Structure 1
């Protein structure tokens, strides 16, 4: 135990010395190390109770990292795998999508070719036991259920399920495998010319996914492309470079990074040439960050495409993942990145609390509803590299076309329907009874979109279901009518997801995507040229 404590103490000192050094002027790093080591020695020798050094170390490191910048982070060993899943583009599990209904895990879809599919689990199966432990009817969190289903590659997990209306349990032994996490949510043709790609992250698989999507859309006749980066918080810088390379010609600069102890590194375009010509629109909003801003910044700086939406998040810092001796990971900010025109779009971060409240400040100042409320000083003014348009650094990417947030009031009735999860649970039950009937009538998502209508009978079935589940949710005709487009589009989109797949549901739900609708209007009305972008 003593040896472990000493190792942890040394580990702790390697980090805490930097904080001590920065806070105590006039003292050398060695002086601060000795001072802290003296305190630790006295605690070890004299303290009245046993000391949990691991807990102390973790808290001290987290406190230290909090003093640096908002994006440096310490990740304990137990959380490293989960933290890396999105970037790696895969995780280890059994390969099912599920939702909790009445405190029971219902499989909404089995991933084709995945471990669960290979042993015979089906959509709509209910998992009630995992390795002999009851997970149904015990109010277990989704996080805890995921932990039990996930594990190390190649390990086995036993599950007990109920199928359909049968009361006979069925047992399966599943060997956990790698499950791919797609960074492309969907790619489809909006009309005979306009292609659409929705990207949720920049991972190790993004380049292959994007290249495949662009080629697929080009074969379908795509001449114009809308790339949706709304709510995409970023990921790998090299994935961002590869994505931008599809649009930017020659060996033009896409992004560069530089730090106090890091030399300048340039990432330039290569010879991908997948969509270097053709009208391009990139959608961003206040949650588009990091790698998303690299792509949007490069497209804007080279006047290559039109940026539509709202000001992006403003993350211009680069983190390096550093493995630590106990399996934990340090993600340390080592440099800033700059767009081709020299913009660093990192927003100010003096005071972590203020930084985290930036979104609320934007709302309060009216930025989400009017572009005129956004002010940048002249010191942050830059010019694009071809057409010399004015752009700004220091706080995200400003779009060329501003789309205000929809502030139409969502009624208490809608909010209770949404927060109660009744859209999902009702649709799950409805799909179980009517899936084959709907597929027979509407074989494709296009036919479903144009033909299926949320009629009065469907509306009544939904609202009656919600009222049965929650007696306080009495149907309110006035409030329903006020939010009718949101309610019925969501119902239809979730139904499409359950029947045709998650990717296809975007063809329905995107009817509520106002930045996308504006992009389509501009392209279809031949208004793209009025923005005088590079040809």
Structure 2
């Protein structure tokens, strides 16, 4: 299998847990400009030098260069982009799969670092940091009341492995300050959220992105599920915007037979570079289901396309994003980088699932709104596809190119009245998690010592938190009546509370029980 680092961009998602921006890339050497006296490439350098040396006012030419690069890339395609140094560090850490730091999930609450939860078995948990603690100082550096930029804040908490930082924390539950020394260590950033059983024979694996560690995490989860008796497996790549192609290919290889095509690339010269499955697959006979939605993109679509075109499993959900371009990344000495589209990828049947982008980036990335308006999220017959771009799977089933992967089994967005889409968007925005934290922060003792079953019983019996959330939204300027969606909202609220009080496993135990796509899969058995 080919091991070059090819990048499939993902949707940017800010995780306060580690303060990381997700992404992926391929590094290759930066080439020096040609020493030609009369070419257009040299013109840019001459203009910048002219401004730098002669302009009447002092100008930050670095910012001019950044603007110029952005303008150039904007004329190419939506996925050829410039990444400034402030973002690139987080992107690199996320795709590497770990970072060195103190290991806490946190929010900035009223200009103060508030710990949602220390990462399990991480440096902060071992040192005694607790959920709800406010971090006031890192050594002698004041962190509260300053509106520190994100990169400055992280620089105070991160450092070299084995080094120590003395944190001054305020523990609200005890109304006391403490000084706690935390030794920085390698903290993993999981790309596989959970691997669990949904019933006696059906396993479930949730992948949030395709990073360097994803295949290893996935393989470990798959082996665990097989030991528990999994004869079928659900792979969930909803909301997964992509990452490294190699990881998606290696995961597909676990399910495909030797020499079956997984994906192939074509550059502007038309050269095809195919990736084939090998003999190593450990799940080549059990049933496979892949869950996708409108935010499943790139590497997620490669995995889904390989399973669908080889007739290996059933794709469940809604039409995927539609991103079939391949990027390579070039790093610069200042820590910035440029991702440039260098090829198109095709599914095994020969499909390009890239959706059109001729109307500009704003139209391209805001297509979710159009899908909602035309009813596609609720009705499969409303899906707009280029029916002239027909292809056939190995067994002759018709599939289509030109705009994402259409699922074999369509599952609409939950509900049909518009409120559900509002709840869906709110869940993705993080406001549900923020509400859960602020509510718990007022009185954590309410849930102290409570078993998970007791917690569920409490959450199910009361509308207290539903009503409080409705008020919280109004207070924050979101005027929406969620009464018609009460069961759905209460489920999301209970799941968020469970994540912060217990762990992510409990979050999924709540969510998956009534997940419409999971239910659709189980009905197929």
Q: How far off its partner does 1:70 sit?
A: 1.0
Q: How far off its partner does 1:129 sit?
A: 2.4
Which of 320, 327, 336 is the aligned partner of 1:319?
327
- Kept in 1: contact 2:51–2:61 (CA 8 A): no
Q: Give the corresponding residue for 2:20.
A: none
Following the alignment from structure 2 to structure 1, what is the Cα–Cα distance between the partners of residues 96 and 332? 19
Q: What is the aligned-residue RMSD (CA, Å)? A: 3.4
Write out aligned runs for 1:382-531 (5 A): 382-385=391-394, 387-406=395-414, 407-410=416-419, 421-429=434-442, 431-436=444-449, 438-439=450-451, 442=452, 447=453, 452-454=457-459, 458-460=462-464, 463=467, 481-523=483-525
2:135 maps to 1:127: yes
2:357 maps to 1:373: no
Deviates more, 1:231-240 or 1:413-422: 413-422
Q: Relative to structure 1, is the Cα distance of residues 105 and 46 closer, same or farther in structure 2, using a 3 angstrom cutoff?
A: closer
The superposition leaves residues 219-257 of structure 1 with CA deviations (integer Å, 9 ceiling, x where unpaired) of: 111111111110000110110011101111112110111
Q: How far off its partner does 1:194 sit?
A: 1.2
Q: How far off its partner does 1:29 sit?
A: 11
Q: Relative to structure 1, is the Cα distance of residues 516 and 43 closer, same or farther in structure 2, using a 3 angstrom cutoff?
A: same
Q: Give the corresponding residue for 1:358.
A: 367
Q: Give the corresponding residue for 1:193.
A: 201
Following the alignment from structure 2 to structure 1, what is the Cα–Cα distance between the partners of residues 212 and 325? 20
Q: How far off its partner does 1:45 sit?
A: 5.3
Write out aligned runs for 1:131-142 (5 A): 131-136=139-144
Following the alignment from structure 1 to structure 2, what is the Cα–Cα distance between the partners of residues 238 and 36? 36
- Kept in 2: contact 1:130–1:160 (CA 8 A): yes
Q: Give the corresponding residue for 1:61.
A: 69
Q: Relative to structure 1, is the Cα distance of residues 34 and 488 closer, same or farther in structure 2, using a 3 angstrom cutoff?
A: closer
The superposition leaves residues 100-133 of structure 1 with CA deviations (integer Å, 9 ceiling, x where unpaired) of: 5565433232223322233332334332223434
Q: Give the corresponding residue for 2:27.
A: none
Following the alignment from structure 1 to structure 2, what is the Cα–Cα distance between the partners of residues 454 and 251? 51
RCO higher in structure (CA 8 A, sep ≥6): 2
Following the alignment from structure 1 to structure 2, what is the Cα–Cα distance between the partners of residues 242 and 113? 29
Q: Relative to structure 1, is the Cα distance of residues 203 and 423 closer, same or farther in structure 2, using a 3 angstrom cutoff?
A: same
Q: How far off its partner does 1:155 sit?
A: 4.7
Q: Relative to structure 1, is the Cα distance of residues 136 and 56 closer, same or farther in structure 2, using a 3 angstrom cutoff?
A: closer
Name whichever structure is richer in helix by fraction. 1
- Kept in 1: contact 2:191–2:209 (CA 8 A): yes
Unmatched segments (≥5 aa) in structure 2? 1-29
Following the alignment from structure 2 to structure 1, what is the Cα–Cα distance between the partners of residues 214 and 45? 46
2:240 maps to 1:232: yes
Q: How far off its partner does 1:147 sit?
A: 4.9
Q: Relative to structure 1, is the Cα distance of residues 285 and 461 closer, same or farther in structure 2, using a 3 angstrom cutoff?
A: closer
2:230 maps to 1:222: yes
Following the alignment from structure 1 to structure 2, what is the Cα–Cα distance between the partners of residues 191 and 433? 32
Q: Relative to structure 1, is the Cα distance of residues 494 and 143 closer, same or farther in structure 2, using a 3 angstrom cutoff?
A: farther
Deviates more, 1:256-265 or 1:175-184: 256-265
SS in 2 for 1:307: strand
- Kept in 2: contact 1:183–1:203 (CA 8 A): yes
- Kept in 2: contact 1:104–1:126 (CA 8 A): yes
SS in 1 for 2:210: coil
Q: Give the corresponding residue for 1:530.
A: none
Q: How far off its partner does 1:198 sit?
A: 0.9
Following the alignment from structure 2 to structure 1, what is the Cα–Cα distance between the partners of residues 290 and 460? 35
Following the alignment from structure 2 to structure 1, what is the Cα–Cα distance between the partners of residues 355 and 466? 45
2:298 maps to 1:294: no
SS in 2 for 1:492: helix
Following the alignment from structure 1 to structure 2, what is the Cα–Cα distance between the partners of residues 289 and 111? 28
SS in 1 for 2:40: helix
Q: How far off its partner does 1:90 sit?
A: 1.3
The superposition leaves residues 190-239 of structure 1 with CA deviations (integer Å, 9 ceiling, x where unpaired) of: 11111111110111111111111111111111111111110000110110
Q: Give the corresponding residue for 1:25.
A: none
- Kept in 2: contact 1:261–1:334 (CA 8 A): no
TM-score normalized with structure 2 length: 0.83
2:86 maps to 1:78: yes
Q: Relative to structure 1, is the Cα distance of residues 242 and 432 closer, same or farther in structure 2, using a 3 angstrom cutoff?
A: farther
TM-score normalized with structure 1 length: 0.81
Which of 124, 146, 164 is the aligned partner of 1:116?
124
- From the CA coordinates, give the structure whose radius of gyration is larger: 1
- Kept in 2: contact 1:428–1:498 (CA 8 A): no
Q: Give the corresponding residue for 2:263.
A: 255
- Kept in 2: contact 1:12–1:60 (CA 8 A): no
Following the alignment from structure 1 to structure 2, what is the Cα–Cα distance between the partners of residues 398 and 411? 22
Following the alignment from structure 1 to structure 2, what is the Cα–Cα distance between the partners of residues 243 and 123? 35
Which of 105, 108, 117 is the aligned partner of 1:97?
105
Q: Relative to structure 1, is the Cα distance of residues 334 and 465 closer, same or farther in structure 2, using a 3 angstrom cutoff?
A: closer
Which of 269, 282, 304 is the aligned partner of 1:274?
282
Q: How far off its partner does 1:149 sit?
A: 2.4
| Number of residue equivalences | 488
Following the alignment from structure 1 to structure 2, what is the Cα–Cα distance between the partners of residues 207 and 412? 32
Q: Give the corresponding residue for 1:526.
A: none
Q: Give the corresponding residue for 2:114.
A: 106
- Kept in 1: contact 2:263–2:345 (CA 8 A): yes
- Kept in 2: contact 1:431–1:495 (CA 8 A): no
Q: Relative to structure 1, is the Cα distance of residues 46 and 154 closer, same or farther in structure 2, using a 3 angstrom cutoff?
A: same
Q: Give the corresponding residue for 1:8.
A: none
Following the alignment from structure 1 to structure 2, what is the Cα–Cα distance between the partners of residues 164 and 287? 39
